[in-house]
Structure 1
Amino acid sequence: MNKLFPAILFLVILSFQIANGQIKLTHNIGTNPIETGMPSCEDYENWARVFELSDFGITSGEQFLIKSIEVAISKSYNGANLQYGVYSVDSKFPESEPLLLGYGGYMLLPQIDTPQIIQFDLESPIVVPSGVKKILITIGKSPDSYNPNSAEVIIAGTENDTGESWYKGCRKYYSYTSTDDLEVPVPDANFYINATGETFSTANSGATTTLNPNVCDELINRVIYGCTYGGMGYSRDFILNDFGISENEEFIINSGQIGIGQVQGGVSIKFRIYEIDDNFPASFSDNNLIGASQEVTLAYYNSVTNAIPEIINVEFDNPVVVPKDVKRILVEVYQTKYYMFPAATEVDDGSVTWIRSYNGGCTPYGKFLDVRDTGWPKAKLYINVTGSVKHITNNFQMNISNICSEFLTEFSVENESNIASIKWDFGDPASGVDNTSTERSPFHDFSEDGIYTITANVTGRDGSIELLTETTDVKEPPQAYGINNIEACESSAGTGISNSFDTSNIETQVLGNQTDKIITYIDGSGNEYDALPNPFTNTVRDREVIKVRVARKDEPCCYDETTFDLIVNLLPDLSGIENIFLCSSDNNGFATFDLTQIQSDSSSNNINTEFFFQDGQQIPNSQLDKVVNKIKDRETITIRATNTDSNCYNETDFTIGTTAPPNAITLPDLTGCDDNNDGISEFFDTSEIMDQIPGSQENIRVSFFNSDGMEMNELPNPYTNLQKNEDYLTIRLTDETSGCYSENKILLKTSSKPGINQPSDLYACNEGNGYAFFNTEHVTENIIGGQNNLSITFYSMEGEQLNDFENGNFQNLQPYDQEIIAKVENISNKSCSAEVHFNLRTVAPPEILIKDTYQICYAGESLSLETSEMYSVSWFGPNGDILSNNSSISINEEGTYSLSILKEENGILCESYKEFDLVHSEAPTIDKISYRDFAENSTVEIFASGDGDFEYSLDGINFQDGNLFEDVEGGEYYITIRDKYGCGQAIQLINIINYERFFTPNNDGYHDSWIIKGISDQTTSFIQIYDRYGKLLVQLDPSGNGWDGNYNGMPMPSDDYWFQVNLNDGKVHSGHFSLIRS
């Protein structure tokens, strides 16, 4: 497929206009759609084309009314809707946001299998306002949510095309993207999208007259309120004579326009034409209605969201004829239900805008009100009507085509076929012989601005003569004269931007001698200026087109345009020049530099270079190969490169200087351990080298080389020497700025690994719980022998250093068996070391299983003892003499004996020693038992005789060492004395008579009855109980359960009571006790 030049398209369009009387916006060549390889998806999609209206002969002062839109589809599956949209775009598109002008369509696509053209015929045209330069026409696809069919739609194109196709959608492209720039480019997509319509000018031209109070089509939004429930009328009034319509002429209105900022869907409008007089609105009557358009329903529109106010164009089904003699009319746009916000222009002719409410809920109800009295002074509502003028009494009618942008005014007379001859007088005698004409449709170039009376003396073919007279307001159209391109030097090399464009002469050039004109400048980025800053900075790099618009002050929409270019003369590129540093071994700060390479790299046919010392002195080109710096160490050199064609030059500085090499740091020798005496060590520790170099020096690169001269990527740690016994490493320090370097060497020496012996384990007698003291005096000697230059350190297996191990008497830290590590190091190279392990083991002493004390009960008995240990045994008597060395012995003498057992194990002798006692004992005899009846704190004391160690008991079960028992209750006791060693016992029965001092008969199990203990064996004794008055309450049996506190079955009160007891031996004892009730 081929892209053709725009001129071809322009020729096609011109021929189409001539043939059809309408304008078709298209970039396609031909009308044969084909599939062009554009993919699709199931999601939302938009296809679009951009049209520059001037390319199609549409001037900036004309509206373009789009009446139909076409798109070609290659394939459809009947699962998606199609709609169209028209947008205004600027020169920044696609970066800028398109502004909506109108939309519609919403048709369900049928099943399509081969490319075919689909045409949208618009019920109401979409109005592209005058002043819009470029529009975007989009075709949008939306999936039909309730349709099971596929929503894929393949758009068609043509084989040849002159424009660019744009795409958005599929959840991938969220702004309009050229099909050339898609992930899979489709450079020849050539979307078949076009629009057909006609131009419309609100300026009067020929037989067409427009009553329009507004200046331009640049609409503003939200200038007057609306009513939620509708029923509003918005009006403009017109004096017909102001538009050249005399009282002898009818005005036949066939269309009307209104600007809309926002409208709810379903709103309907109609144009009403009323006759009014100078007393309006007081004299207004609905009976003066001349006629009205049909009612037109509007689609929802909101210019607040990415849109501009739209112009609604209503073509009347039945034209409204304003009769002759009508001087003034009111054009009202009546709005039905729902809300609508009309739009306005900033500037109009000063006529009044009126508002009237037909809805009781909104003001002003039932009457017309000047919007200036409502607090909305900007409501210069965009309302106009267009029609033709018909003279009632004349057979002929003059038409004047006075288009603001044209220098010549065209005149004509209707009913031309009946004209025999005509003579024109343009009322411009200053134009000389050109003031008159006999042509049927002459043009006239008026000599100056002003109001002219035009007459046409017409002779009809029937011989009749009519004199036609009209006036016209002539204003010379603005002219934008050519402007010379402006050149300026680039401000900063490589940017394409200059901040020094001289714009001081532009206004003079573009205006010439014109006055009362408005100039608008539009830069290449779309920014507008009332005056260009001077100096000016371009916004588009390298070359920028500036558009200049010259308009009338009183009619800003009438303008002419021209362009000029801002041309940036690029500066020579000096970005690649680098500083030059030379190494100075003698550190005097001076060197000889060669600058010829810089000169060669910076020069060309039209570039001349110059070099300067820091003091400004120029360096001759002949000496550039031997430049000696004039300032010690560092000097700044300036290079100037001049473009000899544009005289633009660029300067930059670079440094020449001398650099001393880095300070080479002297490092100590390294010693590595040679573990097999082959002269090679794999254990040279290099970890601290990088900590010492480069020291405080900055921008230093460190390199390492082995003794073979090979550079290493990094310094290994540990390092292995290449040369036996003695080797070296070279360390190079390089200044990364200057490249200067210095070197130093590190000497690598090998040392032998210590030779050590395996020591024997050490043994010591267990002194308790597995701990012992070990003789470590000779351990070091056993491990290293007589070797010198070695150090030895002892560690536990947990890594704890044992500092006192070599003191000769070391106690183990772990019981029974502890492993020790001995580490031997070469004093000159501690990394060269050897280790050996040995154990500290405790030896258990022989076990002695005899008691601490033995006894015999009768004199003349003997004790036999025996030990099972088969070692060296010694028995010692009370006087320390050895009694026996046998494993057994028999003894009978009372006293302290001892036993010693020796055991030898692992070369050490361990002893166990124990003392024990032999005592005599015999059975006890009870001599006396002392106790007292009826005592408050009764005690029992036992007196015994006999040779032994005795213990005492009241019940024969619980024994104690002492013979005194306290707080003994009354009752029967078997007094028992026994020998602790089992040599016999003595027993005697006693009865202790006693009673409780109180009782609490409340059945809680404690002290519920009162009784005398210790008399149960005295069967003839009896007990009597009295109250405090001496009354006998009860007599008790000594073997009974006691008194329960009742008398004759009734409980006695809490009180003190008395008793008397008569014992078997005739003794009588009395006392008292307490009865306590809670």
Structure 2
Amino acid sequence: MKISFQNIRIFLVILSLAWFHVFSVARGNVIQNNLDPQLEVITPSLCSSMDGSIIITELDSNTAYEVQYHNGSLQTLTLTTNTNGTLTIDNLPSGDYQNLMLTNLVLGDQISFGTVEVPHVPLPAVISSVVNASECFANGNIKISGLEPFTDYVVTYIFGGLQDVTLTSDFSGLITLSGLAPGFYVNLTVEDINNGCHVEFDPIEIEGDLFDAGFSIIPPSGCDSQDAVMSFSVSDSNPAVYEITYSINNQSFSEVVSTSGLEAIVVNNLEPGYYYDIAITNIETGCFDDMGYYQIPSPILNLASYFAEPSGCLATNGVITITGLDLSPLTSFEIAYTHNGMPQNLIIESTDTGQLIMTGLGTGLYDNFSISEIGNDDCHGTIEPVELIAPEMETVLNINGTTACNTTDGALMFSELNSEMEYSLSYVNGNGETGEFIQMSNSQGQLEFTNLSSGLYASFTLVEVETSCFAQFEDVLISAPELEIELDVAPASRCGESDAALYLYGLLPNASYEVGYSHDGSPYALDLESNSNGILTIMGLDSGTYGSLEVLELSSGCSKTLGSFEIESQDLVLDFEPIIPSNCAATDGEIIINDLLPNEQYQIYFSGGIQDDGEYQVYSSDSDGTLTLLGLSAGIYDGLSLVEVSSGCVGVIETVRLGCLDGFGCYKLRSFFTPNQDGENDFWGPEAESQSCDYTLRIFNRFGKQLAVLSPRDYRWDGTYEGQQMPSDDYWFTVEYVDDQGNPGFYRSHFTLKR
């Protein structure tokens, strides 16, 4: 056979590819043809079912693979991928499939997936009930339902160690774990013995007190007594024997006490001290209660005190007397205390009546008392703090205020002092600042402190340095003239707007002020700064009454009370345009109201023929802020008012006249007139359309009385009869006329007089 050069080239290419493949397999390459195998697991439908699957995709299509894994033993399968490169391992139960390996039987490539878990489907069991244990008995139980009937199950849990029990379900698939003591049952698992299917539950608590004993202490009756008592009470009313155990001073003690169940269980003749590991145990049942620790206190001396003040500022003849039934007579006691913060200690013997008398005491605060009987440290007591105060100095204080808000020429004058003695004056002013002056009184016993600013001074204390005598003054006010302030108010731009402003004039430029006022029952306090012209401005105010306006100048303490002021509410200003009806019988008149809020609702109240029943109608303005009342007949409309729903603002149009012209022949007549001498509609009469018409017009009131006769020569009526003004009412008229064609006619109608 003749081999061409072209055939040799093809053979070399195939040989090189085969060598590369062998080299790749030898290196354990798991990527073939640039594919990336993916794995998906299908869980079995039931715990005991074998319908789980492992699906592997992204393999070579239509290719045979050897599948190996361990599931209790080595399993080997030969499966072929479909046209999409998918391989499916079917009919698998739940479990771990270890060392899952695929081998391409064409190329020899291997792919390892390690261990693949087909998830476990838990048993469909539930905790149907938990019954708690009663006191001191392990009689609780847990019922588990939803299992297969008449089937053996292993139940395991942790309670004081790992526990397990085998139970058989009843005909309804129920098992009962009984004889349970109070506590938490952890890792509770139920497993079907036949197929290994199982379910695990969250920790379950069985409630029930092991023992519930009451505990109290009766302390010793006296300092040297050892008659303290521990007392226990139990809920069990049956006769029983109890063991009481406790420890004190690193020694343990035990007592056995019998009780009929009606009386308390007591341990007598105990001394004060720190008792621990206290417990009570029912010897028959073993039930116990741990009381922990308790300190039986030493007796506390029941003490009281009374005192006598020193006779003067420098005197040391104050006395504190301590009394009490527990104080032994003619016995030495140690008294520890502090005097003005300095620790002190005294050894005093009680009197034959059992009193402790502290003498030679000066002024000051005596506190932190501890009184102990020497030789008996367990017997001690205390008393409340005692403050010894010398009589106050008697002096007269005169106050001179400052001449202006920002001056420091105020003064305090003390008189009736000792002459030419040194005095200290300390204070706290209204800004919380402290100060102190030291000065000599003059030969008349007067002392003057000058150069003081205005304001409130608190805690004034005047002390005579040599004797420490003092006089105290709660509050001292150094007054100043009031601020000169002018008030101006700018109202809101429109009803309902919160843009009114308050202006305060005549203040210091660029100074800090506190402004307070009330509005609608609520107080307001503002910290503001005046501008360079000494003006304070408060913006964004609502209309209404403001009260208690007060201005405080922080730098000087000067103030001004301005009381109340009013910010008036502006009514709506209504711009309207009347559109008269096309004729007196028509109802196509309109009233157009402009300059309202766009797309706003308004309550509109009518009178004068539109609506007179006191109710209102709701209209809405359009996007231009225009509202139109339609379908109006001729007439005079009084008191038309609008209420803006969102703000409650009100606008009123006093009178709107919608006139009309009615006619006969070549004349026209208006339907109303208003003889109020305002230059508009003051007269009523025919308006000629032709000079050739003639008529005689008679006017009558509603009772048929003729009031006036009009003609082309006397064509106006002023609304009077014999010099008297006729009232607002409807009036009738008749007309006999000849029109411009010479045709006679007769016309009858009425009109309105409105004043």
More strand by share: 2
Q: Do they superpose with TM above 0.5?
A: no
TM-score (norm 1): 0.16
TM superposition score normalised by structure 2: 0.21
Which structure's CA Rg is the greater one? 1
